[in-house]
Amino acid sequence: MKKALTAILSLSMVFSLIGCSGSTAENPANGDTPGQTPAAASGDKKDPVKLRVAWWGGQSRHDYTLKVIEMYQDKNPHVTIEPEYAPFDDYWKKLAPQAAANGLPDIIQMDISYLNQYASRNQIADLKPFVDSGSLNLDDVSENAVKGGEVNGKLVAMTLGTNALQTTFDVETMKQNGIDIPGKEWTWEDMDKLGAQAKEKGFLMGGFAYRHDVFFPYYLRTMGQKMYSEDGKSIGYADDQAFIDYFNRYQTWYDNGYILSLDKEAQKKGVAEEDDIYLGNAISGNGWSNQFLAVANLVTDRSLELNPMPGPGQKEGLFLKPSMYFSVTESSKNKEEAAKFIDFFINDVEANQLIKGERGVPVSSKVKEALKPELTENEAKIFDYVTWAEENSSPGDPPNPIGAVEIEKLLRDYSERILYKKVSIEQAAPDFRKEANAILARSQK
Amino acid sequence: MNKLRENEHLTGYVFTAPFVLGFLVFTLYPILSSLYYSFTDYNLYEAPGWLGLDNYQRMFTEDDKIAKSMQVTFTYVFASVPLRLVFALFVAMILNTATRATGIYRSAFYLPSLIGGSVAVAIMWQQIFGDQGLLNSALSLFGIHSTTSWIGSPSTALWTLIALSIWQFGSSMIIFLAGLKNIPRDYYEAASVDGANSVYRFFKITLPMLSPIILFNLTLQTISAFMTFTPAYIISRGEGGPLDQTLLYSLYLYRKAFSHFEMGYASAMAWIMLLIVGVLTLLIFKSSTRWVHYETKGD
């Protein structure tokens, strides 16, 4: 009896060992194949193809994206798509180990802050061959939108939509309370006044919600300066005066109680339901144009309006930003099929009737025209604003250099320390620039 | 006879194989590879390149956040561990004297430490200490109208985490309770006969008799307090804010590894943490000869 048990157990151990070594022997072989197979796969169109598509977003984005995928599968029965989706922060934390394991999905949604990181480490593929072969049709896409996805002359990401910075005004509440509504051409002094008037009536105005990584570069642009140098190897400005002016103004707003206090800001999770305009606490807010929709749709009893950011130098400051991209990964075995899906996503009118500019105003002029009559009032406001911004903006900056994510965090840390008076603005300005330069130098070795 | 021995050996190996294999593959291998990575610039995407001691040097010369996060971690550990142990012992002593429904009380007090490390509790904590949370509502009943967010203000944020840690006193309490039950009744009776009051009995009988258990709890709780991660991550949403006041070392390590993808640097951080925890544990054990009382030594 005992002998039998020993035999069974030792056998099972032997098998499990074999199992182990078997799989380890297989893995390297798997790792080698992606380079060789695509030619074979693209030969026959009827071959079943499996694509993995990953994106970040909220529930509404997940819902309609799944419908678009279903639509694509109906039209292309040989393609099966496996969706993978998560909130923004978790998305990137999931993607990194997948990249390390050579197991990225075929198509990944890409953000401007991460574009360089993935491109320079050869994780995402050049899409130009597929544009040339006709799989990815860019005839109706403006050159600017295409350029936004280029790194070192390679088209590594396809822009899905465009955004522009905007100020949201709760015009009706402002009228009722006798708060002056600034026009399109307004200045930082007007914004000071707006804060003072709002405060008098017991309202806040929208602060920048820690997003100095968005609004400080805008401010720099209005002054004819850039956050990052052209080659991305250093901070783009040498004179700290812009930093000092920007934060002096912001500190005044904060100390006067024009904007939300930091301890309350820290609790926000970044969803529209806690927006202070919606809650009736604030008369204005700032953000990207696609973010307007979620808030405006919640506020049903009064209408909100989009306005540009303050100037002077508004036109130099404003730019169209690729809201997000789709990239095809280098490890994908079906790059051609992946490119076709992206083509469908940006060019198909029916698909975009589901997407409806939630990923930014569509890049295809044909799609934009076709959607116009079907837009809701709030969607139309965004389309109109971005159309206006096309005429009244300057070309965008190249994708953020590697290390930008860390620098954005650094800027946020400094803004907190400034507002809590742990460091003087005059001290913070050169310190921030020095530390940011060190991060860039380290990241690009 | 010899053959049977051999067979028994084999059976032993086979039965321990799952653990031994698991230990080798999932514990020893990762530990050793992290030691190797700590000398490299591994970033998950590219093959690691050798840096020598650069990571360690950077930690102590360039990175201000290391010192900051250590300060936060030490404050957290040195405040939460003693408070938690005192609280656990206090509750254990009350439960030890209770006569009715002790099972229910024990389970009720143990419950927080079962669920305490969970995401749900951290989110609940966020609500309690938020600007419109339970604590502020409770304070307003006493006429104190507070609108601060306890989690959002730099001076109180870490203390909400410490409070959360103290609230999870259950496992130490159960161990204390078992220890208390092991102290022979006659000691107390003899002391009472000799006229010792309850305070005297506590310091002269309970504490010395319990000291091996206190040592056990202290060591275990100190090590686990250094590894605290989930509540700080959830409550500050991975930022360690405000003003880095809740930036526990483990949280900063996680950020370096999974937000900035500096796996080499994060590995170096992990080894320094191991060193610190190791030294502290050693100190606790060294000091224990002065205050831990073992009855079997017979003094």
- Interface ipTM: 0.72
Tokens of A434: 């020095």
Q: Taking a C-beta distance cutoff of 8 angstroms, is the pair B125, B164 a contact?
A: yes
Best B42, B45, B61, B147 member to test A by mutation, with max A CBs in 10 Å, is: B45
Best B9, B15, B44, B127 member to test A by mutation, with max A CBs in 10 Å, is: B44
- Which residue on chain A is closest to B48 by alpha carbon? A100
Neighbours of A337 (CB within 10 A): 26
Please name the helix (run of DSSP H) or strand (run of DSSP E) that holds residue A52, with its range, or none. strand A49-56
CA distances from A299 to A259, A277, A281, A309, B137 (A): 20, 8, 13, 22, 28
Pairwise pLDDT comparison (A227 vs A18), residue with the higher score: A227
Given this model, what pLDDT does residue A243 score?
94
Q: How confident is the model at residue A445 (pLDDT cuts 50, 70, 90)?
A: low
For range A418-422, the mean pLDDT = 90
What is the architecture, at CATH level 2, of domain A165-320+397-443?
3-Layer(aba) Sandwich (3.40)
Cβ neighbours of B149 in A, within 8 Å? 263-264, 266-267
Cβ neighbours of B11 in A, within 8 Å? 2, 5-6, 9
Given this model, what pLDDT does residue A32 score?
39
Chain B contact for A409, CB < 8 A?
yes
Chain B contact for A10, CB < 8 A?
yes
B257/chain A closest Cα distance in angstroms: 10
Given this model, what pLDDT does residue A41 score?
42
- Which residue on chain B is closest to A122 by alpha carbon? B45
Chain A contact for B236, CB < 8 A?
yes
Output the CATH code of domain A43-161+323-383. 3.40.190.10
Range list for CATH 3.40.190.10 in chain A: 43-161+323-383, 165-320+397-443
Cβ neighbours of A123 in B, within 8 Å? 45
Does A20 have pLDDT greater than 50?
no
* Strand positions, DSSP E, B205-259: none
Closest Cα to residue A149, out of A405, A402, A398? A398
A402/chain B closest Cα distance in angstroms: 10
Per cent of chain A over pLDDT 70 is: 89
Nearest CB among A96, A266, A445 relative to B258 is that of A96
Given this model, what pLDDT does residue A24 score?
36
Given this model, what pLDDT does residue B1 score?
54
Does A362 have pLDDT greater than 80?
yes
Given this model, what pLDDT does residue A29 score?
37
Does A22 have pLDDT greater than 50?
no
Neighbours of A113 (CB within 10 A): 17
Chain A contact for B138, CB < 8 A?
no
Q: How confident is the model at residue A36 (pLDDT cuts 50, 70, 90)?
A: very low
CA distances from A57 to A92, A241, B109, B239 (A): 12, 37, 40, 20
Given this model, what pLDDT does residue A37 score?
41
Sole residue written with tokens 């100020």: A167
Please name the helix (run of DSSP H) or strand (run of DSSP E) that holds residue B27, with its range, or none. none
Q: Counting beta carbons within 10 angstroms of the beta carbon of residue A271, is it exposed (0 to 12), middle (13 to 18) or buried (19 or more)?
A: exposed
Closest Cα to residue A200, out of A180, A170, A172? A180
Task: Look up residue B28 and give its DSSP letter.
Answer: I
Cβ neighbours of A10 in B, within 8 Å? 10, 14
A210/chain B closest Cα distance in angstroms: 12
Question: Which residues, numbered 255 to 284 in chain B, qualify as contacts with chain A under a Cβ-Cβ cut-off of 8 Å?
Answer: 258-261
Pairwise pLDDT comparison (A21 vs A293), residue with the higher score: A293
Q: What CA–CA distance (Å, rounded) separates A261 from A75?
A: 52
Does A13 have pLDDT greater than 90?
no
Q: What CA–CA distance (Å, rounded) separates A431 from A437?
A: 10
Cβ neighbours of B45 in A, within 8 Å? 96, 99-100, 121, 123
Half-sphere exposure of B299 (CA within 13 A, CB side): 6
- The residue ranges of chain B whose pLDDT is under 50 are 298-299
Neighbours of A95 (CB within 10 A): 24
Cβ neighbours of B10 in A, within 8 Å? 6, 10
Does A23 have pLDDT greater than 50?
no
Establish, for the pair of chains A and B, how many residue pairs have beta carbons separated by less than 8 Å.
73
Q: How confident is the model at residue A46 (pLDDT cuts 50, 70, 90)?
A: low
Cβ neighbours of B242 in A, within 8 Å? 262-263, 266, 416, 420
Chain B contact for A262, CB < 8 A?
yes
Chain B contact for A268, CB < 8 A?
no
Best A12, A23, A210, A267 member to test B by mutation, with max B CBs in 10 Å, is: A267
Q: What is the pLDDT of residues A167-214, one digit of tens each?
A: 999 999 999 999 899 988 899 999 999 999 999 999 999 878 778 999
Q: Taking a C-beta distance cutoff of 8 angstroms, is the pair B216, B233 a contact?
A: no
Given this model, what pLDDT does residue A21 score?
39
Task: Look up residue A187 and give its DSSP letter.
Answer: B
Does A432 have pLDDT greater than 90?
yes
CB-based contact B153 A100, cutoff 8 Å: no
Tokens of A337: 């099929």
Q: What CA–CA distance (Å, rounded) separates B34 from B47?
A: 14
Tokens of B123: 């989110």
Given this model, what pLDDT does residue B269 score?
93
Given this model, what pLDDT does residue B116 score?
63
End-to-end CA distance of chain A: 65
Residue A154, SS3 per DSSP: strand
Does A33 have pLDDT greater than 60?
no
Q: Taking a C-beta distance cutoff of 8 angstroms, is the pair A204, A258 a contact?
A: yes
Chain A contact for B9, CB < 8 A?
no
Q: What is the 3-state secondary structure (H, E, C) of A304-371?
A: CEEECCCECCHHHHCCCEEEEEEEEECCCCCHHHHHHHHHHHHHCHHHHHHHCCCCCEECEHHHHHHH
Tokens of A418: 């400034």
Question: Which residues, numbered 70 to 129 in chain A, qualify as contacts with chain B under a Cβ-Cβ cut-off of 8 Å?
Answer: 89, 92-93, 96-97, 99-100, 121, 123
Chain A contact for B242, CB < 8 A?
yes
Given this model, what pLDDT does residue A3 score?
57
Given this model, what pLDDT does residue B229 score?
87
Cβ neighbours of B153 in A, within 8 Å? 263
Q: Among the ranges A39-43, A161-165, A396-400, which has the highest mean pLDDT value?
A: A161-165
Chain A contact for B142, CB < 8 A?
no
Q: What is the pLDDT of residues A242-262, one digit of tens each?
A: 999 999 999 999 999 999 988
Question: Which residues, numbered 158 to 187 in chain B, qualify as contacts with chain A under a Cβ-Cβ cut-off of 8 Å?
Answer: none
